[in-house]
Amino acid sequence: MSGEIYMAAAAALAYEKRLEVIANNLANVNTAGFKRDDVAFQAYLSSAESAAATVYPPYPAAQAGASFWVTYESRTDFSPGPLKQTGNRLDLALNGKGFFSVESPDGPVYTRRGNFTLSPDGVLVTQEGWPVQGTSGEIRLDASNAGPAGLDVTVGEDGTVRVSGRDVGRLRIEDVTDTGSLLKIGHGYFKPTDAAETAEPEAARVAQGFLEMSNVEAVRAMTEMIEILRGYESYQRVIRSVDEANAKSINEVGRTS
């Protein structure tokens, strides 16, 4: 493969990866607690000593294909999304930094998706049935804590959960110093790695009856998608032009006038 075609194909592949991420962001534009992803790219070029060196635009003239390649990395944008009022007493959102702590079958995970519900045993759980963690473990809202008018649940800004005026627990809200140490596992959940360091956020406030929606801006994402498609098509044209030029050169080799 010629160097020109290889470099154009590498760039087209980078655009394709970016398109996949943008499409996934758009698919979750209305998903509560979803955090959009961005893609970062880095080009490398092998020297004569086979040592890899990073290169930046404008890239050097095309060389042998094996000497140039592009890597990509997906990064999550943890900026907050808008709050949507639902009126549901078990819908909770966070104002400020931090995550709700949840106990999954594979260990503790974090989320900003606060559309919680009750298990048959009266435990506050996620839509998957995973217990939402309080400072002292699971938070139980069973009928034994209900008053004459039924189960009246209130959640204070500090995360204190009360049933009919009686404290039943306080939400465990964790802040992660380096969000890059969180592993995105889907459905709005993030798993801490060994490098994750947590602390209680200082300014986090819980909003009851609200949900934090996706931080994806639909118009911006669609504009980026159009830009990506145009860039991808331009590299396709480059590959086609180089291929046609090479074919013409081969056909004319040895031709006599």
pLDDT digits (tens, 9 = 90+) for 124-144: 999 999 999 999 999 998 765
Summarize the confidence of residues 8-19 as an average pLDDT.
81
| Most confident residue range from 40-54, 58-72, 202-216 | 202-216
Looking at the fold, whether 37 and 19 belong to one and the same domain comes out as yes
Looking at the fold, whether 96 and 182 belong to one and the same domain comes out as yes
pTM of the complete model: 0.78
Q: Evaluate whether residue 257 is within a structural domain.
A: no
Note down the domain range covering 96. 83-212
Looking at the fold, whether 91 and 177 belong to one and the same domain comes out as yes
Summarize the confidence of residues 72-98 as an average pLDDT.
92
Q: Evaluate whether residue 256 is within a structural domain.
A: no
- The pLDDT tens digits for 161-210 are 999 888 999 999 998 888 888 999 989 999 988 877 777 777 779 999 99
Looking at the fold, whether 156 and 207 belong to one and the same domain comes out as yes
Q: Evaluate whether residue 151 is within a structural domain.
A: yes
Q: Evaluate whether residue 222 is within a structural domain.
A: yes
Looking at the fold, whether 171 and 57 belong to one and the same domain comes out as no
Summarize the confidence of residues 224-228 as an average pLDDT.
89
What total number of domains does the chain contain? 2
Looking at the fold, whether 48 and 88 belong to one and the same domain comes out as no
Looking at the fold, whether 47 and 135 belong to one and the same domain comes out as no
137: left (phi over 0), alpha (psi -120 to 50) or beta: left
Q: Evaluate whether residue 105 is within a structural domain.
A: yes
Q: How do strand 92-95 and strand 99-104 relate by DSSP bridges? A: unpaired
Looking at the fold, whether 172 and 230 belong to one and the same domain comes out as no
Q: Evaluate whether residue 255 is within a structural domain.
A: no
Residue 46 has pLDDT above 90, yes or no: no
Q: Are 26 and 218 in contact (CB under 8 A)?
A: yes
Name the least confident of 58-67, 193-202, 227-236.
58-67
Q: Evaluate whether residue 113 is within a structural domain.
A: yes
Looking at the fold, whether 127 and 236 belong to one and the same domain comes out as no
